[in-house]
Amino acid sequence: MTDNELNQFLRHVLTIILRLERYPQDVVDAFCQAFYKAAKSQPTGSPFLALADALNLVLIPYHKAIQITDINRGEKSTDVKVIKNKKQYIIDNLSDIETKIDTITHNNLNIKHELKLDTKSVFYSGSEINKRKYWEELFTNVEIKTTLASVLPQVTALTEEILELYTNKSDDSITIRGDVTNKNAFIQPLKKQMRLCLFNTCIICNDNLSKVTDFFLTDIIDGKEKADGYLFVNEYLLDIIHGMFQCFPQVKFVSTDTFKTQSIGLGDAMIFLSTTPNPTSIPSYAKLIKAGETIEFKVSNIGTDTQYYLIIVAITPGVDAQIKLTVK
């Protein structure tokens, strides 16, 4: 890279950071995560590690504020083991959590209403879909409220315990939608930290500024200004022929990543990890991707870190599936 090309690159990176609010949340997230991963991979003692940790502190609230989970699981075939026998146990535990939250929030009725603690029956009565919805909403709401951090371990343990009382016989899905209501409030700290990351990277790499290109992947942002259909480095367009188990080795991922799948074809599909590239059956942990649906899930939810083959099978009789898969 010539000096002129390097100067243009540095100006381009700064321009991108100063205009981050112009880009979709998932693109901003990918751009910042790229720096975080590159910085975090540096050897022990590197000043980049502190930059990565500082960025992560503002990246996490930004990500959680923008992304909203719409827990609408649709129809499932599921057996409920002993949930009805847990009624008093649930009431007692939720009452204990409520008392602690009242102390923290000075009996804020709005908080109790938001957490559904004023209507505890929703956690043990009604349809399975709604009960699971309210438990997961309780956990999510407590998790994102920093003032309630002291009760999060208790809420986490109780939520996990109750949800384990269900035996899932078919897959479920979570639809992700974007909410930009509070975007500006959360983008400003992220922009400030990314500026610091750029300036400090230039200082650290002062003897060889071309190394800055390893930390700021501008292609992630530049792609949004290209034609429709342009794929980022972490995006893949996968065609699955009906009835076939297909392996996709071109998808690069690790077990700690998250998959976002957008079904843009007409057929449903199942996705899972396998120890072999040519399996003949669909495991119970496979994730269902319905036609026209966008879902997001941890890679660890569809297999283990020793299963290296990504398998997708189109399950709608006679109909192919097409998936746009994003590795986050």
pLDDT value at 82 more than 60 = no
CA distance 66 to 61: 9
Judgement on whether residues 63 and 186 belong to the same structural domain of the protein: yes
Could you tell me what percentage of the chain is helix, strand and coil, using 3-state DSSP and rounding each to the nearest 5?
50, 15, 35
- For 4, residues 6+ apart whose C-beta sits below 8 A from its C-beta are none
What tokens does 22 get? 């112009």
Judgement on whether residues 94 and 142 belong to the same structural domain of the protein: yes
CA atoms within 13 A on the CB side of 27: 19
Judgement on whether residues 82 and 163 belong to the same structural domain of the protein: yes
Distances 227 to 230, 231, 238 between C-alpha atoms, Å:
6, 10, 19
162 within some domain: yes
Judgement on whether residues 151 and 276 belong to the same structural domain of the protein: no
pLDDT computed for residue 172 by the predictor: 39
CA distance 162 to 122: 13
pLDDT-based confidence at residue 5 (cuts at 50, 70, 90):
confident
The 3-state DSSP class for residue 274 equals: strand
Judgement on whether residues 251 and 322 belong to the same structural domain of the protein: yes
CA distance 277 to 307: 10
Judgement on whether residues 64 and 84 belong to the same structural domain of the protein: no
Q: What is the CATH number of the domain that holds 306?
A: 2.60.120
pLDDT tens, residue by residue, 94-133: 999 999 999 998 888 888 888 888 888 888 776 666 777 7
318 — alpha (psi -120 to 50), left (phi > 0) or beta? left
* DSSP-derived pairing of the beta strands 309-314 and 269-274: antiparallel
Query: Domain limits at 291?
Result: 235-327
293 — alpha (psi -120 to 50), left (phi > 0) or beta? beta
286 within some domain: yes
191: nearest Cα among 199, 203, 202: 199
Judgement on whether residues 95 and 126 belong to the same structural domain of the protein: yes
Judgement on whether residues 161 and 97 belong to the same structural domain of the protein: yes
pLDDT-based confidence at residue 302 (cuts at 50, 70, 90):
very high
Judgement on whether residues 163 and 84 belong to the same structural domain of the protein: yes
Report the amino acid identity of residue 83: I
pLDDT tens, residue by residue, 252-293: 888 888 899 988 888 899 999 999 888 889 999 999 998 888
176 within some domain: no
Q: Does the global pTM surpass 0.85?
A: no
Count how many residues are written for the chain. Answer: 328
Judgement on whether residues 254 and 322 belong to the same structural domain of the protein: yes
pLDDT computed for residue 114 by the predictor: 84
Judgement on whether residues 14 and 161 belong to the same structural domain of the protein: no
Judgement on whether residues 14 and 63 belong to the same structural domain of the protein: yes
Distances 274 to 246, 277, 284, 306 between C-alpha atoms, Å:
11, 7, 12, 9
308 — alpha (psi -120 to 50), left (phi > 0) or beta? alpha
Total domains present in the chain: 3
CA distance 223 to 90: 49
